[in-house]
Structure 1
Amino acid sequence: MQSKLVKSPLNYIGGKYKLLKQITPLFPNNIDTMVDLFCGGCNVGINVNAKKIIAIDKLDVLINIMNIFKKLNSHDIISIIEANINKFNLSNTSKYGYDYYNVNSSDGLAKVNKKNFLKLRNYINHITNKDSVEYYILLYTLIIFSFNNQIRFNSKGKFNVPVGKRDFNKKIRNNLLNFIERLHSINIEFICDDFRHYDYNRLDKNDFVYADPPYLITCATYNEQNSWTETDEIDLLNLLDFLNDRGIKFALSNVLESKGKSNDILKKWSKKYNVNYLNYSYKNSNYQIKNKNSKSVEVLITNY
């Protein structure tokens, strides 16, 4: 684990930032290449010590934003974000504070920004040329002002997250600066692809694969529209068996139980490996026996 933890500027559903202090000590030492499957906001990959990191996700928007963060310096990115904020007349509490908008921090800025936020969202949803740096930084600006800074698109590919309570405040700005600084200091490559398509034959025993897939038995937004099925689950588990047969270390984040549901496929498969129980409340301690029947049983399954 890196000495200073860096939080992703993308609040991707299922992000593992709050679990880093539990899961990264369970990772191998002296990793040559780490493959971060389903990288999402990259909270895990960017905080792991490895000679090289391959971050893979099939959401092209996510990977394109990451590559822009990697390509441009933080000053240029922030300048473009602030220009977008001015152009669409959104709030800027980092510059003016909350009193300027006649609101307080606890109530938030949703009422202040809703009208212009919807204008920005509508504008972005009608852009046809999505190959430019400007488009993705504009999209990231929209994400900043969205509910919980989330990324979600409907079945027609339209961004549909409602307005949020926050803006480009000092905390979010610092998260972005620290993330970009870390990106520029490590050897990391972002790839947009399905997890089944990566060439795992290039890996050897000094490499490590971390998988944080959509959870089969949960109802998070990333698993809407039947985007993760039992077939996907079995394909991933077979892939991890393949890695194990080749002597390549892996770790899998998942839940065995959640809100009365049980992932029996995963439970049966996990008996071959080591199951590390994590504290779902994200405190730095392990599950106790009495907690096994609580809402969710979150685990890290390893083959070492």
Structure 2
Amino acid sequence: MDFIKSPLNYTGGKYKLLPQLLELFPKEIDTFVDLFAGGGNVAVNVSAKHIIYNDIMRQVPEMLQEFKSVGVEECLQRIDYFIEAYELSKDNREGYLKLRERYNNSFDLEFGVMDPLMLYTLICYSFNNQIRFNGKHEYNMPFGKNRSSFNPALREKFVAFVNRLQEIDIQFFSKDFRELKTGGLKGSDFVYCDPPYLITVASYNENGGWGEQAERELLSKLDEIDKAGVRFGLSNVLESKGKENTILKEWAKRYKVNYLEHTYSNCSYHKKDKESKDVEVLITNY
């Protein structure tokens, strides 16, 4: 099966694990809830009647909602407009910084709000195409000199992704996972979680965004989902670079632990110890 790949670059994105993950997911799903949906690789490839995409970084669901609402043609027109207006290229740092400054002005004179497609254009030319904001919600990724652009391969990926968004029944939310109400879920639904991993470092962990308390609260939420008779799947790592997640290992004894073959190439820009294996798992209650 050919999978659709997200045009957003997320650390630890699940694209390469899709064949293994989808094989382990329930065969029949009414509502699929992707609680930490990130770039949307899982959400756009899962087979379900209805999909709920949720991510705490509100700019991302807003961007995907815009992709779906306006469609490929208008998206490309607006992206190309920004590329032309700011003469964006792999080596025009000044144009990139001017566009970033324009985006970070909270009220955009031309579009009235912070335009999600302006943000997407910035991401395409940023270092490693990463998505990161400072405490003032300003996009603060540096320029991806000689590396990043909206090249033909990315354009093709973007078109396929937006077309898929328009084909499927998907809703976008930006809520904290603790806000998930199990009352509205049924036994035929499925909640998938791919949270920040407690024992690995990524941009969302740098500012103390995910610690032991959040980890325990998520596991408690999954217990609640299980008690409600709803199926869940949790992606995580039990061990990474000599560290182990003892909280998760203890909790997982109650459930089924499926071990995955770890095949990331794009985990991070510099990873010195590529040989050190992460023990990646999908923990399920079915």
**Fold match (TM-score > 0.5):** yes
Once the two structures are TM-superposed, the CA of residue 50 in structure 1 deviates from its matched residue by 0.2
Cα distance in 1 for partners of 2:201, 2:112 equals 33
Match of 1:146 in 2: 126
Cα distance in 2 for partners of 1:32, 1:245 equals 19
Match of 1:160 in 2: 140
CA change 1:247–1:26 in 2 (3 A) is: same
User: Which segments of structure 1 move beyond 3 Å, counting only runs of 4 or more?
Assistant: 127-134
Cα distance in 2 for partners of 1:51, 1:296 equals 33
Once the two structures are TM-superposed, the CA of residue 8 in structure 1 deviates from its matched residue by 0.8
Contact kept? 1:212, 1:254, Cα under 8 Å: yes
Cα distance in 1 for partners of 2:112, 2:283 equals 39
Match of 2:270 in 1: none
Once the two structures are TM-superposed, the CA of residue 134 in structure 1 deviates from its matched residue by 6.3
Pick one of 206, 216, 237 that aligns with 1:234.
216
Once the two structures are TM-superposed, the CA of residue 212 in structure 1 deviates from its matched residue by 0.4
Match of 1:123 in 2: 102
CA change 1:129–1:229 in 2 (3 A) is: farther
Contact kept? 1:68, 1:133, Cα under 8 Å: no
Letter in 1 for 2:157: N
Q: Which runs of 5+ in 1 are unaligned?
A: 92-108, 284-292
Match of 1:171 in 2: 153
Q: TM-score, normalised by structure 2?
A: 0.91
Matches within 5 A, 1:1-304: 3-91=1-89, 109=90, 112-128=91-107, 132=112, 135-164=115-144, 165-282=147-264, 294-304=276-286
Q: TM-score, normalised by structure 1?
A: 0.86
Once the two structures are TM-superposed, the CA of residue 196 in structure 1 deviates from its matched residue by 1.1
Deviations 1:140-165 (A, max 9, x none): 10001112211011233322212221
Q: Which runs of 5+ in 2 are unaligned?
A: 266-274
CA change 1:205–1:50 in 2 (3 A) is: same
3-state SS of paired residue (2:64): helix
Cα distance in 2 for partners of 1:32, 1:141 equals 34
Cα distance in 2 for partners of 1:294, 1:139 equals 35
CA change 1:132–1:185 in 2 (3 A) is: farther
Match of 2:269 in 1: none
Whichever of the two has the greater Rg, that structure is 1
